[in-house]
Amino acid sequence: MKKLFRKIVSGVLLSALLFTAASCAAKNEGAKESNDTGSVTNTETVSYKATLTAQKIAAFPDAFVSGMNQYGWNTAANLYSGKNLAISPASLTLAILMTRTGAVGATADEMKKALSLSSLSDEDILSSCKQLMWRANTNGMEAANSIWMQKDYSFADAFIQSCTDHFMADAFAVNFLTDAPAATNAINKWASDKTHGKIPEMNPDPLPDDTRLVLINALYFLGDWEIPFTAANSFDEVFHGTTEDSTVKFMHDKRKMLYSETPAYQMISLPFKGAEGKADSPYSMAFILPSKGQDIAALMNDLSSKGFSSFAADLSKEKVQLSLPKYEFTFDASMVKTMQSLGMKLAFDGEKAQFDGMTEAANDLYITDILHKCYIRVDEKGAEAAAVTEVMVGETAAPVEDNLKNFTADRPFLFAIYDETDNTVLFLGAVGQL
């Protein structure tokens, strides 16, 4: 029977992929040094700063890429209501996998299945997460994880070490019990620092004083389009949204770019500029426009079943007359019902959830909510996007030329920010209404 006293564990993933007009800042190669020393145990009050050890960047196992991408499009299809949508499958995956390191039995199995990673061993998953953390600290991208533990609470050393080793997490001891406002302020400052001020206040109110653990991942990217749009070529056009037409600013250009076309959709991919000192960037942004009369949700389901990589494989250089709207919006949602629909049910059940790995003993912990919030902006110089996911665990019209393709995104379309190394999708969404 569950204890009457409710011990709360708040698990938070903060992920911000930020694309701006500024030049990309190159990351130092090699190991990133710790700012503090000392081992991490469940009784120490010192902080521990993770060391990122250089790794050779190679393609992830196919099952990891296809699983995370499939999970992302499944989630998008579940959440899409005809309005604007933006999520980060990489962020959600890291948040849930980090929480999963403390899960056991059927609870852990369901979490892996919901993420479409059942074919991978736990060792392969943790190895991929470790490489993802390193890869996301190169080529102009920055990633960081942290765990914030209640001072003197009996968290298992093995759980803490898994977070610091495989997720390269910083670890901090704080006192939610007697000074929740100070603990919350420290978390907010860490999040703000890691996102360069783009997420200045993750928690506007102090966390409850019965919080026992907060887990955070921050993902940050700074970059420009490899070929920016000319502002003078931007002018108003009509966007035919799902509910009404609207007049918005469209960007225009005519150039060679990666392009594909089928009876169901058109697709283009625009690369980002390489970080300082690098010729190019592995990151690109795809725009997928359903053919007139085609359902956008059906296209999401096709991306889930056939795989984003199969769509990207059809791209080839073509001369394209491009008309793309500028847009900016924020999307937020609770992920509980979505995750339950994907098969992750026990983790939300106060009577049946098993997070014994967090304490190496039976406990009363379960996930109370998973909150996700994303911001996206696309303009002539680049794109800006930010995503926040919080996992809470508790108890109980130009002239036509020959061979010129026309891509006019004047109706609902999809977008995806991805890594060309293996087509890992980091961020995706739909523009339904402007």
Distances (CA, A) of 424 to 111, 204, 222, 289: 20, 33, 18, 20
Closest by CA position to 430, among listed 11, 2, 8, 86: 86
Secondary structure (3-state) at 175? coil
Q: What are phi and psi of 103, to 5 degrees?
A: -95, 155
Is domain 9-223+329-395 annotated with CATH 3.30.497.10? yes
Give the pTM. 0.85
What is the three-class DSSP state of 107? helix
User: Residue for token digits 């495989």?
Assistant: 166
Strand partners, 419: 283, 424
Q: Tell me which of 83-97, 251-265, 370-384 is least confident.
A: 370-384
Q: Which amino acid is at 340?
A: Q
Domain boundaries, the chain: 9-223+329-395, 231-325+398-431
Q: Are 223 and 19 in contact (CB under 8 A)?
A: yes
Give helix 122-135 / helix 89-100 axis angle, nearest 10°.
Answer: 130
> 155, 210, 165, 107: which is closest to 358 by C-alpha?
155
Contact present, 159 and 358 (Cβ < 8 Å): yes
Beta bridge partners of 174: 150
Give the integer Cα–Cα distance in Å for 224 and 41.
42
Q: What's the pLDDT tens digit per position in 314-326?
A: 999 999 999 999 9
- Residue 67 phi/psi, 5° resolution? -65, -50
- Quickly list DSSP for 40-69: --SS--S-B---B------PPPHHHHHHHH
Bridge partners for 392 per DSSP: 10, 369
The β-bridge partners of 377 are 328, 384
Summarised one tens digit per residue, pLDDT across range 51-62 is: 777 777 888 999
Read off the pLDDT of residues 124-137 as tens digits, 9 standing for 90 and up.
Answer: 999 999 998 888 88
CA end-to-end span of the chain, whole Å? 51
- pLDDT of 300: 96
pLDDT of residue 399: 52
Homologous superfamily, domain 231-325+398-431: Alpha-1-antitrypsin, domain 1 (2.30.39.10)
pLDDT above 90 as % of the chain: 48
Asked if 381 contacts 296 with a C-beta cutoff of 8 angstroms, the reply is no
Pick from 15-29, 141-155, 348-362, 374-388 the range whose average pLDDT is largest. Answer: 348-362
Residue 427 has pLDDT above 50, yes or no: yes
pLDDT of residue 24: 30
pLDDT tens-digit readout, 21-45 = 222 333 333 333 333 433 344 334 4
Q: Using 50, 70 and 90 to split pLDDT, how confident is the model at 4?
A: very low
Structure tokens at 307: 């795989």
Residue 306 to residue 65: CA distance in whole angstroms: 13
Mean pLDDT, residues 214-219: 80
What pLDDT shows up at residue 91? 84
Average pLDDT, the chain: 83
167 within 8 A of 98, measured Cβ to Cβ: yes
Sequence-separated (6 or more) residues with CB below 8 Å from residue 165: 130
Shared fold status for 9-223+329-395 and 231-325+398-431 = no
pLDDT for 77: 95
Whole-Å CA distances, 321 to 105, 257, 407: 54, 10, 6
Place of tokens 């007139």: 292
pLDDT digit string, tens, across residues 233-287: 999 999 999 999 999 999 999 999 999 999 999 999 999 987 665 667 889 999 9
